């Protein structure tokens, strides 16, 4: 642990706090009797709807928490995607896979903002578009990253990280297909359970990036076109020209 980078905690904390935030939304909705609990049997004659994540976050106060959780998850998820792209950029033999993976996760994160900010009751069409983007492109991202994990084989840990990711990709895909199949058959309680499982598997998948991130150090540096890059410790030197102190970029 002494040699591990602190960046390993970013995917772990992202998954932990996003999952916790979604369950807070669920418990608020259950407490306010907005949804049927997951442990109960759903009956169409009852007034309470099934416990889909979107329905749990459909009305205040749960919707306020839901919007905040989804917006933060989209922002940090995008950062994870960029860092993973930079980590693999110099190592992949097929750059289009790495770029496509980043684009897929970026669009999935944009879909999260649509899900969080356009509640089902307010704009069902836009909300469902966001759901499809999040689940569909998120699943694609899982498969591409699983493949690249084995191919790149960082620190000879390709199988150690790749095999669990392939298994999680299978779980995510299975839950997504099951979710839509159960929805089509109007088995709403089972579909809601499949949806919750899908999201938890996806968050677990993203947390596995801690395996590779523990070897990486991402640093902020600044430079201009004529001088060498400067370290973080030199950025705030008052003697540096203003234009040098303002140009920043990421490096590994």
Residues 131 and 166 in one domain: yes
Q: What angle do CA 213, 170, 156 make, to 5 degrees?
A: 35
Task: Provide the pLDDT for residue 117.
Answer: 94
Task: Provide the pLDDT for residue 241.
Answer: 47
Q: How high does pLDDT run on average in the chain?
A: 85
- Tell me the two tokens of residue 79: 């950062």
Question: How does pLDDT run across 203-228, given as a tens digit for each residue?
Answer: 999 999 999 888 777 776 766 665 55
DSSP code for 57: T
Number of domains observed in the structure of the chain: 2
Residues 110 and 169 in one domain: yes
Residues 118 and 233 in one domain: no
Task: Provide the pLDDT for residue 214.
Answer: 83
Residues 235 and 200 in one domain: no
Residues 16 and 139 in one domain: yes
- Domain for residue 1, yes or no? no
pLDDT classification of 66: cutoffs 50, 70, 90:
very high
Is a pLDDT exceeding 80 seen at residue 46?
A: no
The phi, psi pair for 221, rounded to 5°, reads: -130, 165
Residues 190 and 159 in one domain: yes
Q: What is the mean pLDDT of residues 102-118?
A: 96
CB contact at 8 A, 32 and 62: yes
Residues 223 and 211 in one domain: no
Residues 141 and 61 in one domain: yes
Domain ranges, residue 228: 218-252
The phi, psi pair for 108, rounded to 5°, reads: -65, -40
Interatomic CA distance for residues 71 and 50, integer angstroms: 24
Residues 48 and 135 in one domain: yes
Residues 115 and 157 in one domain: yes
- Tell me the two tokens of residue 1: 């642990």
- Domain for residue 43, yes or no? yes
Residues 33 and 145 in one domain: yes
Query: Which residues is 219 bridged to in the sheet?
Result: 251
Residues 211 and 237 in one domain: no
């Amino acid at each position: 642990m002494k040699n591990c980078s602190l960046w390993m905690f970013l995917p772990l904390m992202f998954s932990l706090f996003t999952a916790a935030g979604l369950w807070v939304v669920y418990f608020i909705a259950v407490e306010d009797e907005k949804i049927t609990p997951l442990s109960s049997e759903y009956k169409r004659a009852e007034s309470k709807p099934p416990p889909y994540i979107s329905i749990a976050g459909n009305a205040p106060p749960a919707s306020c928490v839901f919007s905040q959780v989804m917006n933060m998850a989209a922002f940090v998820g995008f950062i994870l995607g960029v860092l993973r792209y930079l980590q693999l950029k110099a190592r992949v033999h097929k750059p289009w896979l790495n770029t496509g993976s980043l684009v897929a996760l970026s669009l999935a994160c944009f879909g999260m903002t649509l899900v969080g900010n356009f509640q089902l009751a307010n704009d069902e069409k836009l909300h469902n578009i966001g759901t499809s983007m999040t689940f569909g492109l998120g699943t694609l991202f899982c498969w591409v990253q699983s493949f690249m994990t084995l191919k790149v084989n960082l620190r000879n840990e390709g199988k150690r990280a790749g095999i669990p990711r392939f298994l999680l990709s299978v779980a995510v895909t299975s839950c997504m297909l099951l979710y839509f199949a159960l929805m089509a058959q109007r088995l709403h309680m089972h579909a809601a359970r499949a949806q919750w499982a899908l999201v938890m598997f996806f968050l677990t998948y993203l947390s596995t990036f801690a395996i590779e991130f523990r070897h990486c150090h991402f640093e902020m540096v600044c430079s201009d076109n004529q001088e060498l890059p400067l370290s973080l410790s030199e950025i705030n030197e008052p003697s540096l020209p203003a234009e040098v102190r303002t140009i920043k970029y990421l490096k590994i």
